[in-house]
Amino acid sequence: MLKDRYGNSLTTESDAARDAYIDGVDKFLSGNAGSEEAFRRAVEADPNLAVAHVGIARYRILMADRPGAAAAIQDARNATGQSEREVSHTEAFGRLIDGDGPGGYKAIRAHVVEYPRDVMIAQTCTSVFGLIGFSGREGREAEQLAYTTYIAPDYGDDWWFLGQHAFAQAEVGQLELARENIERALEAYPRNGHNAHINAHIFYEEGNNDAGFDYLREWYVDYDDNAYLHCHISWHVALWTAAAGDMDTAWRLLEEGCSPENSKGPGLNILTDTVSFLHRAQLSGIDVPAERWKRISDFAAETFPRAGLAFADVHSGLAHAMAGNAEAFAALTKEAKGPAAEIVAPTWAGFKAFAEGDWAAAERELGPAMAGHERLGGSNAQRDLLEFTLAEAIRKQGRAAEADRLIAMRRPRQQELAAA
Ligand SMILES: [Fe+2]
């Protein structure tokens, strides 16, 4: 019986299908380009390798191609002779694609209990954009760490696992453990987009901006722009480049890496990274042309017209407010939806007041969002957008010391960037 790299048996007699599947999984887990192509090679070699069809579905949904994902799940369901694990693998992920979020999550957790080393299913519950990260639940960062800790005995020194465990640790402030784990992960596999990205987060949380910038900009030079993390890593590099005062390069990185016209990455990254960069640039005193806000507002209105995914919703709302796109703002904000709706609504109101220059209202409206903004999803670094906006609203009212104190209390190692 052929096996994947994690020791899971594969129902195929084709070495080519097995090798291509392993290649697809490795590229997917390491954020390198070519995973979908590898999964397609696997199903060409053996159309009955259901888990490779699911791999295609994983990539399609990442690119917000729901019909493409549904078609791949159907191909997986049509595969014959599958083992119990493979059927469960297809069904657990398939239910998400069918639109049954709660049922899919439940099935995935049950699958992970039964088959903890089925990495492509275990992976769905990791990272700040995963099923726990985007759950909207209170305490989801602690829950994330509980999850990676739970699967730790099954993964040992595996580079994928160490990276995700490090990310979960970093997001709750366990920076020493995070640093230790990410260095072990990178030693095992240095050209790993996810782990390079996680390392950047750890540098950021450490307040170690110079070292982070040096590391990431060097790492990023050879990173394939077809890789799905290319946009988001461009954002990290662009932010540090802007903080270092080189705006020409920062704008170029944003344009090449994150713009709707040039990026090959997921729409969610294009939206959130562009909006975040523009707003943080503006907060730090850089002149942001209105045209840039208009472009990303138009993209948001086209790509995420309705509310539902909290992390997209707050960034879209900010884009529309800053672009003065009242129509799109009104259409989006009619009703906050989803498990984090009670955080989304005040964030929208706060961003709108901020865009209108009503600093007191911005401070008042953002207040209720601050205690629980982890529920919006994304990383601490991404949600510094809210921390820095609130601080600026306070500063604009002539209370600079209070604004500094807010950052010193809530994000003590980010003072340098907050004041940039
Ligand atoms: Fe990031």
CA of 150 to the centre of ligand 1 (A): 24
Question: How many secondary structure helices (H) and strands (E) does the chain include?
Answer: 23, 2
CA of 42 to the centre of ligand 1 (A): 31
In whole angstroms, how far apart are CA 209 and each of 171, 201, 216? Answer: 17, 10, 10
Per-residue pLDDT of 177-223, as tens digits, reads 999 999 999 999 999 999 999 999 999 999 999 999 999 999 999 99
CA of 299 to the centre of ligand 1 (A): 21
Instruction: Please check whether residue 263 is in contact with residue 269, taking contact to mean a CB–CB distance below 8 angstroms.
Output: yes
Task: Determine the Cα–Cα distance for residues 159 and 139; give it in Å rounded to an integer.
Answer: 26
CA of 87 to the centre of ligand 1 (A): 33
CA of 335 to the centre of ligand 1 (A): 28
CA of 19 to the centre of ligand 1 (A): 31
Instruction: Please check whether residue 271 is in contact with residue 304, taking contact to mean a CB–CB distance below 8 angstroms.
Output: yes
CA of 95 to the centre of ligand 1 (A): 28
Task: Determine the Cα–Cα distance for residues 250 and 243; give it in Å rounded to an integer.
Answer: 9
- Name the percent of the chain in helix, strand, coil, to the closest 5: 70, 0, 25
pLDDT confidence of residue 203: 98
Per-residue pLDDT of 144-162, as tens digits, reads 999 999 999 999 999 999 9
pTM beyond 0.85: yes
CA of 258 to the centre of ligand 1 (A): 13
pLDDT confidence of residue 416: 84
- The two tokens of residue 65 are 């191609």
pLDDT confidence of residue 363: 98
CA of 269 to the centre of ligand 1 (A): 10
CA of 148 to the centre of ligand 1 (A): 18
pLDDT confidence of residue 1: 85
Instruction: Please check whether residue 218 is in contact with residue 57, taking contact to mean a CB–CB distance below 8 angstroms.
Output: no
Burial 156-181 (b: 16+ CB within 10 A, else e): eebbbbbbbbbbbbbbeebbeebbeb
pLDDT confidence of residue 417: 85
Residues of the chain under the 70 pLDDT cut: 419-420
CA of 201 to the centre of ligand 1 (A): 6
CA of 362 to the centre of ligand 1 (A): 26
CA of 172 to the centre of ligand 1 (A): 15
CA of 209 to the centre of ligand 1 (A): 14
pLDDT confidence of residue 419: 66
In whole angstroms, how far apart are CA 309 and each of 5, 341, 343? Answer: 34, 9, 12
Task: Determine the Cα–Cα distance for residues 90 and 84; give it in Å rounded to an integer.
Answer: 10
In sign, the C-alpha dihedral spanning 77, 123, 231, 308 is: positive
CA of 65 to the centre of ligand 1 (A): 23
Give me the amino acid identity at 332: L
CA of 165 to the centre of ligand 1 (A): 15
CA of 396 to the centre of ligand 1 (A): 28
CA of 398 to the centre of ligand 1 (A): 32
CA of 200 to the centre of ligand 1 (A): 7
CA of 233 to the centre of ligand 1 (A): 7
| Residue 2 β-bridge partners | 10
CA of 43 to the centre of ligand 1 (A): 32
Per-residue pLDDT of 343-399, as tens digits, reads 999 999 999 999 999 999 999 999 999 999 999 999 999 999 999 999 999 999 999
CA of 382 to the centre of ligand 1 (A): 7
- The two tokens of residue 214 are 């040096």
List, as own/partner pairs, every contact residues 340-343 make where C-beta atoms lie below 8 angstroms and the sequence separation is at least 24, other chains included.
340/136, 340/310, 340/375, 340/376, 340/377, 341/310, 342/368, 343/310, 343/368, 343/369, 343/372, 343/373, 343/375, 343/376
CA of 2 to the centre of ligand 1 (A): 36
Burial 51-81 (b: 16+ CB within 10 A, else e): bbbbbbbbbbbbbeeeebbbbbbebbeebee
CA of 22 to the centre of ligand 1 (A): 26
pLDDT confidence of residue 284: 94
